[in-house]
A and B are shown apart, each in its own frame.
Chain A
Amino acid sequence: MSLNEPPKVSERERHLIDQIDAISNQLCQAVDGTFDFYVEADSDEIAIQKLAQLNNFLLETAHRTLGELSDSHRQLEARVVERTQRLDLVLTATNDGIWEWDLKSGLVTLSVRWTGMLGLPRPEESRPLDDWLSLVHTEDREAVERALYRHLDGLTKAVNVEYRIRDARGTWRMVLCRGLCQRDEQGRPVRMAGTQTDTTEQRLSDSLTGLPNGHYLDLLLNERLVEKSRQPMSLVKFQLLNVASLFDGVAVEDAVKALRSLVQRMRRQLPPNVSLVALPEHTFAMIFETAEVLALERLLEPLEKLLGQPVEIEGQQVWLSHISGVAILNPQEPISADEWRQQARLAQASARASDSGARRYYSEALRLGARANSRAEQMIRGAIAANGVRCFLQPIVDPLSGQVRCVEALMRLQDPVDGLVNPAVFIEVAERTGLITPLWEMLMDQALKLLKDPAAAERFGNEFLLSVNLSARQLLDSSLLESIILRCEREGVSHRRLQIEVTETAVLSEPAKAFRILQRMRAAGVRVALDDFGSGYSSLAQLTSMPLDTVKIDRQLVVGVNESPRKRHVLAAVVALCQRLEYDVVVEGIEDAATLDLLCGWEAGDIQGYYYARPMAFPDFIKTFTQPSPHPQPPRDVSWEPPTDAALR
């Protein structure tokens, strides 16, 4: 047999070879990657059958395994689709956009929703991080960068930062950015991804009215102030004063509905390009592009006209009152948003302090007044903290007997900078801020000691009264009487030796209540004096109805009375009227002997003034003031009933 000649085979061997070849040929079908076929073997040889059988087992196993893999793949794909749909649903429902920052390339990929919420075009390719940051408000940019990098450095568990971002229309939106960093096995950051939620509705709008809120106003103010060529502008703050009236006796939902409707109508009264911003306490802000008062008044006229009409609510009509404060921007003067807002607030406060319907414009005087008030408040708080309340005393004398009938306790504050400060500087602020109460209590602690001072008793006896002033706020305190009595008991003095001085203004704020309290005072033995009568808008009607013991005639009616017959006429009439009404009279502001002579001639009553003594510190009063001698009574030259021309001459 040569090498090239194949070996001779038997018939059985030929059969076996043919069968093996047949099986191999059938297996060629597997090159297509399909295994769903069977190998057939037409042989009685067990080896061939075994070969076919085990090949079939392998084919079946491969086919089944591939089928299982395919099923598994389909299931995974279905789960991915389902989870993607669920995630999409959540993101759609939450209005979230998605961002991904590839840290290797430095590029950020933004989802369609991310750009869509800002009205920006659909993102076509990944962009540098700076493109994103350039849209962020300059004041917030640093915070955003810090949040991203702090998380990148592993200092925070996640990115969570809220910021302002400019949309395609040039307005600002508030967004909340959340994100997480993915890291490799070594902990190195690979990518960062997260969501961006539009929180404008929650952050920049007022929940009650649906209008833009104070944060939005901040944005507006800052934006207007950074404009290169600053236009004339005015910031108007408009406050509805008695909105509570809308809620009287009606369901809250109805009142809210009426208020929202009113606000919407208010919005329509403004030019479309002027935003109406809702601030706390039913205050609204607007920025007008004018610095002309007349133009402003024209612009505000429709709004005020609307508010001149009643609001209809459940068949009833409710009139709302309002005030407004205006801060006109001086284009030449550098000013911050805070300062501009503060100017409008001062003007608004000034309007509120005046009558309803008033509009006030910010001015330098307002600023100085506000500064003075601020200084006064600090002074008061400092005095309270440092026990700086000083009690000064001024006697009220019966000129005919020379007897000290009463001593008025007057308050001074000891300030480290300004020294002794008179009430004129701080009393109004003290009343407005409620600090009058602690001041008064500190004054009383000192003043009540006069009533048990041995030297005072020796000089002035044990009958003289201690007179103290009360503010409107104190007067309307229902527990005032009990507080006074308790305080007197604690000091061991009788409250019957007290006189309280109230002004007409204090009483007029709530006359009915004030009258009830004054009646209780008098019934308990505390005397009541009407202070400063004749100053301001004194009402003669009050004299007939007010529960009173004494009327103190203000020095404005007294000063210069000898030089002015007309003034003398008025003073004489007031004194006569008070006496006719059987009130004790104290004439204030007696500074010279001639005036004293005149009043003694009229038998006008008790005298208070520099003629006898200026207000003195408590120790000085005890040490130096001695009871004056009886004043010689000049001949009476006034007839009281009725005053005649002759007498008045």
Chain B
Amino acid sequence: MIGLIQRVLIDRIEADHGEDAMASIAKQAGIDSPGRRIDTDYADIECLSLFEATQRYLSIDHEALMARYADWFIVWAKRHYPMFFTMADSAQSFLARQPCIHASLGASLHEPVARDRVSDKFHILQRGERSLTVDYRSANGLCALYRAIVARVLEEYQQSGTLSETLCRHRGDDRCRFVLHFDEAPE
């Protein structure tokens, strides 16, 4: 998984709860020194274990952690990649570009397989005037994170919309599919 995902988590835990809290979480996750580089990737299990340990540390369920993480992520991204937000004038526009941004974050991966895995994770299937259909392929099953990010992006742009997950790996599908409807069309 791209390093940025756990970097956001580490930065926020350390900021809100201190470095010891983070070390404790890492220990709980069975990781001596969690990776912090955003231009590399780490084993999926490392990130997922950190998420689980954080969830336990904060005593919240997975959905709640994902909601919090989405907020942390958007705040972190706005600080370090403000241009991506400037480029998008709406939630729909931002989310339509999200697969490309995601792919750019994997650009430093040397292993073609790892790079392709990042690039192929998100795919815009259909683009309507006020809708998007997005396929998400990952064994990590972080569809809850995507749902939370969509909600946070809508909030960021002060827009409203709905998301329905027509396919889901947790239900036995080979992928997750999100159908997004936006109440306002982008300008």
Contacts and interface: CB of A to CB of B under 8 A. Distances in A.
Interface in A55-81: 56-57, 59-61
B39 A49 contact: yes
Interface in A27-47: 38-39, 41, 44, 46-47
A594 interface: no
Given A41-B39, A44-B36, A53 B104 contact: yes
Interface string B144-183: 0000000000000000000000000000000000000000
A41 B37 CA distance: 10
A52 interface: yes
Contact of B108 (A38, A44, A47): A38
B80 A53 contact: no
B38 interface: yes
B107 A57 contact: yes
27 contacts: A38-B108, A38-B110, A39-B108, A41-B39, A44-B36, A46-B7, A47-B80, A49-B37, A49-B38, A49-B39, A50-B38, A52-B39, A53-B39, A53-B104, A53-B105, A53-B107, A53-B108, A54-B104, A54-B107, A56-B108, A57-B103, A57-B104, A57-B107, A59-B107, A60-B107, A60-B115, A61-B107
B81 A52 contact: no
A318 B31 CA distance: 110
B178 to A, nearest CB: 24
Nearest to B83: A54
A7 to B, nearest CB: 27
Interface string B55-94: 0000000000000000000000000110000000000000
Most chain A CB within a 10 A radius of its CB, from B37, B80, B115: B37
A60 B106 CA distance: 10
B80 A50 contact: yes
B108 A52 contact: yes
Nearest to B36: A44
A56 B39 contact: yes
Nearest to A48: B39
A50 B77 CA distance: 11
Contact of A50 (B36, B81, B115): B81
Contacts of B103: 57
Contacts of B108: 38-39, 52-53, 56
A52 to B, nearest CB: 5
Number of chain B interface residues as a range: 10 to 19
A53 B40 CA distance: 9
Contacts of B7: 46
Given A41-B39, A53-B104, A46 B80 contact: yes
Contacts of B107: 53-54, 56-57, 59-61
A52 B108 CA distance: 7
A60 B115 CA distance: 10
Nearest to B80: A46
A54 B4 CA distance: 13
A38 B36 CA distance: 19
Contacts of B38: 46, 49-50, 53
Q: Which 5 A-B pairs have the closest CB atoms?
A: A57-B107, A57-B104, A56-B107, A53-B39, A49-B39
Interface in B35-58: 36-39
A57 B115 CA distance: 11
A53 B4 CA distance: 11
Contacts of B110: 38
A45 to B, nearest CB: 10
Contacts of A53: 38-39, 104-105, 107-108
Given A54-B107, A57-B104, 20 more contacts: A38-B108, A38-B110, A44-B36, A46-B7, A46-B38, A47-B80, A49-B37, A49-B38, A49-B39, A50-B38, A50-B81, A53-B104, A53-B107, A53-B108, A54-B104, A56-B107, A56-B108, A59-B107, A60-B107, A60-B115
Contacts of B105: 53
Which among A44, A49, A52, A54 has the highest number of chain B CB atoms within 10 Å? A49
Nearest to A58: B107
Contacts of B36: 44
A291 to B, nearest CB: 92
Contacts of A57: 103-104, 107
Interface in A488-529: none
Candidate in A41, A52, A53, A59 with the most chain B CB atoms within 10 angstroms: A53
Nearest to A53: B39
A579 to B, nearest CB: 119
B105 to A, nearest CB: 7
Contacts of A50: 38-39, 80-81
Contacts of A52: 39, 108
A189 to B, nearest CB: 46
A39 B103 CA distance: 16
A245 to B, nearest CB: 83
Nearest to B37: A49
B152 to A, nearest CB: 21
A54 to B, nearest CB: 7
Interface in B96-145: 103-105, 107-108, 110, 115
Interface in A502-559: none
Interface in A197-232: none
A47 B7 CA distance: 13
A50 B115 CA distance: 16
A608 B81 CA distance: 135
